[in-house]
A and B are shown apart, each in its own frame.
Chain A
Amino acid sequence: MRDHPVLMSVLLALVIALFAASLLVGPAGIAPMQALSALLRGDGTAEALVMREIRLPRALLAVMIGASLGLAGAAMQGYLRNPLAEPGLIGVSGSAALGAVIALQTGLAASFALGLPLAALTGAALAVGLLLALAGPRGGSLTLILAGIAVSALAGALTALVLNLSPNPFAAAEIVFWMMGSLVDRSMTHVWLALPLMAVGWVLLAGLGRGLDALTLGEDAAETLGIPLGRLRLMLVAGTACVVGAGTAVAGAIGFVGLVVPHILRPFVGARPSALLPASALGGAVMLLAADVAVRLVLPDRDLKLGVVTALVGAPLFLHLIYRTRAEGL
């Protein structure tokens, strides 16, 4: 807020406006004023039930997960100094989905409260740890993307396998949910399930700003400035695993948010990672809220996946970034 008051105010205003839109758009067709008063009253009427139990958790999750993905994308790109690093693209979200699916189908998720998000966190942590180990401190694009493809493919295949082995005939049809993500019919239970781990992840990732700023000068310079690189890396892995794991556990893997948002906002913050982190968090919330309103406007009664919208925006940008990276000679 201090560094870029105009940008941050605009983003915050967008978050608030889209949050309101998210609360007001839905097939029940409740008039706006009636909807807001039902939300505040919270009596047992049908309107209050729709607002408090269906639309509010959906809007809250869009903010929480969008902010998480924006933050994680900005942090990974800052650490690897590579604009292609993004949790969805390099298989971190896919691995989180695998963890979540295993927890759900083995009954771990039902056996204790945080079983589902913790399993997803474990999947995400393994993937992000593996990728950082493979890509090395400088995060070479080719290694990162190739390793990401391999991790994504493996996680996707194992997710499909687990769902196909399930005794539940509906489970196999949900492969697309775990790969594309959706916020349809989530409840406050999901909000409370995701929030604790997400909050831990937000704190960890927000604390990376100074270290990532120093890292823009190179590892040696950062170490001379007294930045413990090992600790920085650990915080990045843990923070990303927390936010991506918790988000994916309740909404599936949503790609491209962490790629698009930092890319658009970077020029506005003078490419400083410490300023990009909070801006990307707000930007991520804006993008996911907008995408989730869009899926409801396009197909009100059907569950169009969020990943469809984010990929339509994100994939062309990704191609553009690859083209530019190639021009720079990898």
Chain B
Amino acid sequence: MGWRGGSELIAAALALSLGVGGAAMAGPPERVVSINLCTDQFALLLAAPGQLVSVTHVAADPRVSAMAAAAEGLQLNRAHAEEVHALAPDLVLAGPWTSGYTVALLRRLGIAVAVIPDVRGLDDVPEALRATGAALGRDAAATAMADTYAADLAALRTAADAGRQPRAAIHNPNNYTSGAGSMADQILTLAGLANVAAEVGIEGGGWLALESMVMLAPDLVISAEPYPGASRAEEVLRHPAAQALAGPGRRAALADSDWVCGTPHVLRAATRLRDATATAAP
């Protein structure tokens, strides 16, 4: 039950950060604005009907947001202090990577800002859920969701096949990859795959040169769907050498919006990847 103490601490910190407007502390916030793609999704999962006023414009983009449909009908913001202030929120949800200037400015304007902790791995998801729940005054819903998630995660871990692990490479635009310890790496492990980037000592995010990836000869290459319009960054995903890796005997898989943020949807990503590799195994 240690987490309950944690959520009380967050609530206390939140109350302190309010600074002005003691009335707002009386009950749960009524007009919540989220200014970070990941806190958008936590808020969409947990907020009471009508409580969430606005999320960022990327939350409505199905390429990166697992909850794009849920974001429909909400006002979309671009995380600028001025437009957020104009929405007259009594609480703003931000991520740890949100611009410090924006957060400081909002607080100076007398708006409470709750910074939801970063989700670095599968085990951090419940804490972020509970922190969001505490900020929104939705502790019960958050606890229920966190418990379900923890149970699902434990079940998937038990089911994970410890036998032959196909080797996968995560190939993002600009040859960016996710190495050992990253959320994507943990999703691969949960899906019964081994991450080739971890083999060459990449920890967290990092660059894996195209020719290094070719030499590692992964069984599976995981890339994201390209955006419309052209970019050199994504051109490398269609480089003949990368395409050859996805050729006969090898497969490609798509990383979608479920991978982007550490929401409970990461389990959906792992399940889908596990099923795809299991059914198509050579």
Q: Does A171 contact B (CB under 8 A)?
A: yes
- Tell me the interface secondary structure of chain B in the complex: helix
Residue of A46, A110, A189, A300 most packed against chain B (CB within 10 A): A46
Q: Does A188 contact B (CB under 8 A)?
A: yes
What separation, in Å, do the CA atoms of A303 and B233 have in the docked complex?
11
Please count how many residues in chain A sit with their CB below 8 Å of the partner chain's CB atoms: 34
Given contacts A49-B244, A185-B239, A303-B174, whether A170 and B211 have CB atoms under 8 Å apart is no
Find out whether the CB atom of A171 lies under 8 angstroms from the CB atom of B211: no
Find out whether the CB atom of B173 lies under 8 angstroms from the CB atom of A187: no
> A42-65 vs B: 1/0 string, CB under 8 Å?
001011011001110000000000
Q: Does B230 contact A (CB under 8 A)?
A: yes
What separation, in Å, do the CA atoms of A81 and B71 have in the docked complex?
64
Q: Does A142 contact B (CB under 8 A)?
A: no
Q: A54-B239, A174-B231 are in contact. List 15 more A-B contacts (CB 8 A).
A: A29-B215, A47-B215, A49-B241, A50-B211, A105-B229, A167-B228, A168-B226, A170-B173, A170-B234, A185-B175, A185-B235, A185-B236, A185-B239, A187-B240, A302-B207
Find out whether the CB atom of B241 lies under 8 angstroms from the CB atom of A168: no
Q: Does B101 contact A (CB under 8 A)?
A: no
15 chain-A/chain-B pairs, Cβ below 8 angstroms: A26-B211, A28-B209, A28-B215, A29-B215, A53-B240, A53-B241, A53-B244, A166-B230, A170-B233, A171-B231, A173-B233, A177-B232, A185-B175, A300-B209, A301-B209
Instruction: Considering the complex, give the chain B residue whose CB is closest to the CB of A103.
Output: B230
Residues of B within 8 A of A53 (CB): 239-241, 244
Shortest Cβ distance from residue B248 to the other chain A in the assembled complex, whole angstroms: 9
The 3 closest A-B pairs by CB, nearest first: A168-B229, A170-B233, A170-B231
Q: Does A27 contact B (CB under 8 A)?
A: yes
Instruction: Considering the complex, give the chain A residue whose CB is closest to the CB of B245.
Output: A49
Residue of B207, B229, B236, B244 most packed against chain A (CB within 10 A): B229
Shortest Cβ distance from residue B235 to the other chain A in the assembled complex, whole angstroms: 8
Q: Does B210 contact A (CB under 8 A)?
A: yes
What separation, in Å, do the CA atoms of A49 and B244 have in the docked complex?
8
What separation, in Å, do the CA atoms of A47 and B241 have in the docked complex?
11
Instruction: Considering the complex, give the chain B residue whose CB is closest to the CB of A30.
Output: B215
What separation, in Å, do the CA atoms of A167 and B214 have in the docked complex?
30
Find out whether the CB atom of B175 lies under 8 angstroms from the CB atom of A28: no
Shortest Cβ distance from residue A66 to the other chain B in the assembled complex, whole angstroms: 20
Find out whether the CB atom of A104 lies under 8 angstroms from the CB atom of B230: yes
What separation, in Å, do the CA atoms of A219 and B210 have in the docked complex?
53
> A82-124 vs B: 1/0 string, CB under 8 Å?
0000000000000000000000110001100000000000000
> B194-219 vs A: 1/0 string, CB under 8 Å?
00000000000001111110111100
Q: Does B97 contact A (CB under 8 A)?
A: no
Residues of B within 8 A of A169 (CB): 227
Find out whether the CB atom of A168 lies under 8 angstroms from the CB atom of B234: yes
What separation, in Å, do the CA atoms of A301 and B207 have in the docked complex?
7
Shortest Cβ distance from residue B205 to the other chain A in the assembled complex, whole angstroms: 13
What separation, in Å, do the CA atoms of A189 and B235 have in the docked complex?
12
Residue of B209, B217, B227, B228 most packed against chain A (CB within 10 A): B209
Shortest Cβ distance from residue B262 to the other chain A in the assembled complex, whole angstroms: 20
Shortest Cβ distance from residue A165 to the other chain B in the assembled complex, whole angstroms: 9
Find out whether the CB atom of B209 lies under 8 angstroms from the CB atom of A168: no
Residues of A within 8 A of B226 (CB): 168
Shortest Cβ distance from residue B61 to the other chain A in the assembled complex, whole angstroms: 10
What separation, in Å, do the CA atoms of A168 and B225 have in the docked complex?
12
Find out whether the CB atom of B239 lies under 8 angstroms from the CB atom of A187: yes
Find out whether the CB atom of B230 lies under 8 angstroms from the CB atom of A28: no
